[in-house]
Structure 1
Amino acid sequence: MPAPNLPQKGLNILCIDGGGVRGLSALIILDEIMTRMRHSSEHGISANPYEYFDVIAGTGTGAIQACMLGRLRMSTKSAIECYASLANNVFSQKNWLGRTFFKISKLRESLRKIIQHETGDPDEPMMERLSDENRCKTMVFAIPSEASLASIPVIFGSYPGIINAGPDCTIWQTLCATIAHPDLSGPFEIGDPPLQWSFVEAGFGCNNPLHHVLTEVARLYPGRHISSVLSIGTGKADTIQFLGPTGLLRHFLPTKAVAATKKIAMDAERVGQEAEVKFSRTDGIYFRFNVDQMQSVEIDQWERLNQVAECARSYMMLAEVSQRIDKAIQAIQARRLAIPTVGIDGQLQITKTEWPAAIYYRDPTPDYTGREAEISKVEMCICGSDYERKICVIHGAGGTGKTQLGLKLLRSNSQ
């Protein structure tokens, strides 16, 4: 809990889409943001995402990045190096059809090495060992393999008290679950039968998990305000290619798989457009960056990381994009109380109307006099201490002046 008497600052939220090889573009953009933030500070101090964002979230390859930046507290440059290493050591294998595949066992060992280097324990749990309300929270998503595409994803978080949470497990197990692909690697299983969990990446249903992130933020931070929401995509649907003009892949990849992958990208853009509408009346809060210059890079061409990086840098050189980056930095650094978390998840709120209290009464008769002793007793009864309930009963036979006494009392104490 924040210290008493200290004003709370606005929350900063970072959400990263999944996107295969294109996911590197998200890290390149984020590295540019951190570099500009470091240069804008008076002393040129370090700028790492976990120091500026209260929540870092992602799905698919975006989940790997979110854990690197949030749970492992890595710098953007270190995350880029590790991401490139995973691409070379794990995701660059191809079968005789030219189709990418990867082994979960190889992914596990590569992740464990990274985690051991950062924490000293290759089996470091996903949940933080020490609870700290002010520490950056990490949340990533996966979907039970037997569930439908419309299912609500399971949350793996670095903090306790999650609703619809995944099993308690290590960081590497979490990341294997969030990136498991039904065709490229098969589902990833956690636990032992009959209580075993089986997961595939949440890209099949929420490749852009922003809606689920905001829902969790509203639950985690009731009564707080948001300063910025930074959403980073991994390529627009109309620029994504899945089949090369030549080669065997275009002959053997099922049409349904192509359509499903296209739908994933379009779904991410749909969520992004819905967020644009949600924040349209609140300028300077929601920022989405999504490179649209990667037409020739297929989603599984991990050997083309350099081209992805070049496309991301070219995208950021556009005047409009560069200006939006500067505005995003201002919102992140300002931590202003821009919008409340109440309703940020889209839930309707019932507004309570407080009607002003009023007492309506008529004046006593003009010739009413006397009864000072009775009026004084009633005043002592109802106008005494503010810490106890008052009850006063005026009783008597009809026509003895009870009503006139009450009206006189109200007139005398109308203030």
Structure 2
Amino acid sequence: MPKLDSLIGYVSDDANGSAHLKDPEARLKGGRPCTGVTGTNGNDENDLETRGLCLLSLDGGGVRGLSTLYLLRALMLRLNDERKASKLEHKKPCDVFDLIGGTSTGGLIAIMLGRLEMDVDECIVAYKALMETVFEKRQNYLRVGFRGMIKPKFSSKQLEKAIKSVIECQQVPVDEPFHLKTEDEDSRKCRVFVCAQSKETGSLALLKNYRRKGDDPGEATIWQAALATSAAISFFDEIKIGDRTYIDGAMGANNPARQVQNEASKIWCEATGDLEPLVKCFISLGTGNGGINPISDKAYTFLTNSLTAMATDTKTTETEVLLRWRKYKDTRYFRFNVEQGLQKVGLAEYKEKGLMEVATKDYLENKELRVLNCVTNLRTKKYPPNREFCIEQARLQAQEDSRPQLRTRVVTGTEISELMDRANANLKKPAATVTHGDLINAYTDFHSILQAKLRQQPPATPKELTQIHDKLRSTCLRLSHSQKLTPAQRMTYVHEAEKFGKRAVETAIASQNNNRVVQMEFYLACAKAREIQLRSEDAQFECPTLDERNDARENISVAWVILRSVENLDMSVYDAMAKESIRQLGLNL
């Protein structure tokens, strides 16, 4: 389940496999979450929380790499706001991440962040300028050359010039090697690799700024490495470095998360390959669900097929990596990728900068809890990993592995029914007797049911999913009234209520039941009213405008009127909710 317990308290499993609240006040008293195997001797120097690996994977996707940068900016902005409040110095991504890997667009960004040690805002400015320089003017319109070869659409010389300009602006010699020599590889601040494809063999090639034992770091300069990872077929020319020729690596590793975890294993746990005990935070950033828009000419169907294969490979890798890290989803492994709004943005459509920013912002507004969990993880990073840390974590993991392990069970239909009965029983108590712990336990049970239904075969019906999403919405909304919580924590629950409310509307639409859709829209409008009320009551939140209040009242009123037309519907509950929600808005009926 999402780590709502990280804001409230610790949830654990009892001997019967039932989730319960150990201490609702633990988090509020400064309790510390355990996100991995840690030492017990009180020394935090080899502790996973302070020295564990932080990994960053950056997808390819042409100009949509700007969305990747906006995602990373949101994480780093929140992290540095927290650090500023504690009077700590500002950190750049190269100060936080031990390994950054990228492909194509993601490779360019990886070089800027890790090798050139740029801040995210610097990257955004440089990236926008680079996009305009490179994609503003086509040199060919996908014409086929004399020998049947595809001519590149855009000028590789312009791309080279733009990349060199970025390097020079960072006061780095333009022909400096990508591999940065050091006497002690363990002391390297931030390792970076980019994915390209060897034209001679068709195999994936990693160009690195570091050297592993037995590795030949190669002779690429920074700008050559950037060109190699960017040399997308039909967009730019291939590039020759020494005796080898490269094109971009998107066809084999558009989502380089698999390569990031493989490289991390070879660097820090080559003997065992057991990476999980060493990783504190693994972040994978996508470029958005972009569809297959850039090529429409039927004469080049094979290129469209290549783009389709690239998109499929990206999703396949995402699923594969999530399967490996499923135990740590949203605690130590985080995948951020804009789901809606970028489908029509082609790989070279640089003029859609505004759309990319808005779509990414909308996506992040629905991922606030995940962003908070991710930043909370990153905040405790203190030291770079070293040999002693790797040895200590391997020892602790060996101890953990020697203990009897509980077998993962599939939740049966009968157990789902029991969980539902138990959760409902917690909520059906007289209102004055329902405790904060009752609500937390109900949330835990409802979320377990949701996860079970999402995995079950045959799949759950839209009606069933609507029901459980609405249960979670209602429970989160009730938690937003808990006096045990701070205003910020109450607001987090309101946002969760809105998130589940939106999902309930979506699944209700899929169920093709108009009455159910109106009910879910009414509940969602009431959740928005609660958000506006909290924003009105506490100065730390942005004060709602009168237009926002009026819009919220109109949404409630419209759904309320439509509900009155539904036959055999007891309106007493809806009438009470509507009146209370409009009161929360500070408006008259």
Q: Same-fold call, TM > 0.5?
A: yes
Aligned residue for 1:254, secondary structure, equals: helix
User: CA shift at 1:341, angstroms?
Assistant: 7.8
Note if 1:333 corresponds to 2:375.
no
Match of 2:156 among 104, 128, 138: 104
Aligned residue for 1:229, secondary structure, equals: strand
Deviations 1:185-239 (A, max 9, x none): 2211112xxxx11001100111111112111111111287110100001123xx5
Aligned residue for 1:29, secondary structure, equals: helix
Answer yes or no: is the 8 Å Cα contact 1:241–1:299 preserved in 2: no
User: CA shift at 1:110, angstroms?
Assistant: 1.5
Answer yes or no: is the 8 Å Cα contact 1:227–1:334 preserved in 2: no
Deviations 1:158-201 (A, max 9, x none): 1122667563221001111111123222211112xxxx110011
Note if 1:76 corresponds to 2:124.
no
Aligned match of 1:391: none
Aligned match of 1:92: 136
Counterpart-to-counterpart distance in 2, 1:145 and 1:44: 47
Match of 1:299 among 342, 347, 369: 347
Counterpart-to-counterpart distance in 1, 2:71 and 2:216: 30
Answer yes or no: is the 8 Å Cα contact 1:19–1:60 preserved in 2: yes
Deviations 1:281-324 (A, max 9, x none): 23411100011121221222122122112211111111xx1211
Answer yes or no: is the 8 Å Cα contact 1:155–1:164 preserved in 2: no
Answer yes or no: is the 8 Å Cα contact 1:140–1:156 preserved in 2: yes
User: CA shift at 1:252, angstroms?
Assistant: 5.3
Give me the CA root mean square deviation: 2.8
Counterpart-to-counterpart distance in 2, 1:310 and 1:98: 31
What TM-score do you get using the length of structure 2 for normalisation? 0.52
Q: Which amino acid aligns with 1:175?
A: A
Note if 1:230 corresponds to 2:276.
no
Counterpart-to-counterpart distance in 2, 1:98 and 1:143: 21
Counterpart-to-counterpart distance in 1, 2:183 and 2:250: 29
What TM-score do you get using the length of structure 1 for normalisation? 0.72
Counterpart-to-counterpart distance in 2, 1:201 and 1:165: 20
Aligned residue for 2:57, secondary structure, equals: strand
The correspondence of residues 15-164 of structure 1 with structure 2, limited to 5 A, is 15-41=57-83, 42-43=86-87, 45-94=89-138, 97=141, 101-132=153-184, 133-134=186-187, 135-148=189-202, 151=203, 153-161=204-212
Unmatched tracts of structure 1, length 5 or more = 244-248, 343-348, 354-415
Deviations 1:104-140 (A, max 9, x none): 2221122112112213311121111434523111111
Counterpart-to-counterpart distance in 2, 1:292 and 1:182: 26
Counterpart-to-counterpart distance in 2, 1:7 and 1:281: 22
Match of 1:203 among 250, 256, 260: 250
User: CA shift at 1:47, angstroms?
Assistant: 2.5
In 2 relative to 1, CA 117–97 (structure 1 residues): closer, same or farther, beyond 3 Å?
closer
Deviations 1:242-291 (A, max 9, x none): 15xxxxx6235611111111111111111111111111123411100011
Aligned residue for 1:85, secondary structure, equals: helix
Report which structure shows greater RCO (CA 8 Å, sep ≥6).
1
Aligned residue for 2:345, secondary structure, equals: coil
User: CA shift at 1:6, angstroms?
Assistant: 4.3
The correspondence of residues 265-414 of structure 1 with structure 2, limited to 5 A, is 265-283=311-329, 284-293=331-340, 294-318=342-366, 321-335=367-381
Counterpart-to-counterpart distance in 2, 1:261 and 1:286: 27
Aligned-residue identity in percent: 26
Match of 1:180 among 219, 231, 237: 231
172-181 or 93-102: bigger deviation: 93-102
Q: How many pairs align?
A: 325
Answer yes or no: is the 8 Å Cα contact 2:55–2:97 preserved in 1: yes
In 2 relative to 1, CA 290–6 (structure 1 residues): closer, same or farther, beyond 3 Å?
closer
Counterpart-to-counterpart distance in 2, 1:118 and 1:336: 26
